[in-house]
């Protein structure tokens, strides 16, 4: 069953996710607990966010961003540079109480709609090896999990 953010963004996300879910391109899970447990197990944190200053080799782009296209360009550039492929998971940290799982190629087209929700957004390898974060302030960050050197490849 598709879950989405409340209020203003509900109908937009529900229709976008429903189509992808019914086509079998994504799986929507009603919780973010497992997703964030995996992230906090692999990345250093400060408060409830990844502390990118403690992630060796992390790449960041400072906002403000007026469109999700800038975040998508950031993902595309990092993806090419590090040959990122494979299964991924997405979760937001405030208004969306769900984890979306699928192949990277299937989730990237959903990002513009997901990024409309005012929260921090995380897109990570299913293994937890790497993660993107897009803040509602417009920052984009990427890094490999420092506690998982065995997984620091594109998948």
Closest CA to 26 of 34, 35, 36, 16: 16
Instruction: Please state the pTM of the whole predicted model.
Output: 0.86
Greatest Cα pair distance in the chain: 42
Report CA 1 to chain centroid distance, whole Å. 20
Asked if the model's pLDDT at residue 85 lies above 50, the reply is yes
Asked if the model's pLDDT at residue 35 lies above 70, the reply is yes
Report domain extents, the chain: 7-151
Query: Region 69-80: what's the mean pLDDT?
Result: 89
Closest CA to 61 of 51, 73, 47: 73
Task: Please tell me the distance from the alpha carbon of residue 54 to that of residue 50, in angstroms, as a whole number.
Answer: 9
Looking at per-residue pLDDT, the higher value among 153 and 108 belongs to 108
Q: How far is CA 60 from CA 6, 31, 57, in A?
A: 29, 27, 10
Per-residue pLDDT tens for 87-129?
A: 999 998 888 888 999 999 999 999 988 888 888 999 999 999 9
């Amino acid at each position: 069953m598709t879950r989405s953010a409340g209020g203003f963004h509900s109908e937009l996300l529900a229709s976008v996710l429903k189509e992808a879910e019914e086509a079998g391109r994504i799986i929507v899970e009603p919780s973010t607990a497992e997703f964030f447990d995996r992230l906090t197990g692999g990345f250093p944190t400060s408060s409830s966010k990844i502390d990118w200053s403690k992630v060796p080799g992390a790449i960041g782009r400072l906002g403000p961003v007026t469109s999700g296209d800038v975040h998508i360009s950031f993902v595309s550039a990092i993806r090419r540079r590090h040959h990122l492929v494979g299964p991924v998971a997405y979760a937001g940290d405030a208004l969306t109480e769900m984890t979306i799982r699928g192949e990277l190629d299937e989730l990237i087209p959903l990002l513009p709609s997901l990024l409309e929700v005012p929260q921090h957004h995380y897109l990570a390898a299913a293994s937890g090896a790497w993660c993107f974060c897009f803040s509602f302030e417009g920052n984009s960050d990427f890094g490999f999990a420092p506690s998982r050197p065995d997984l620091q490849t594109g998948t």
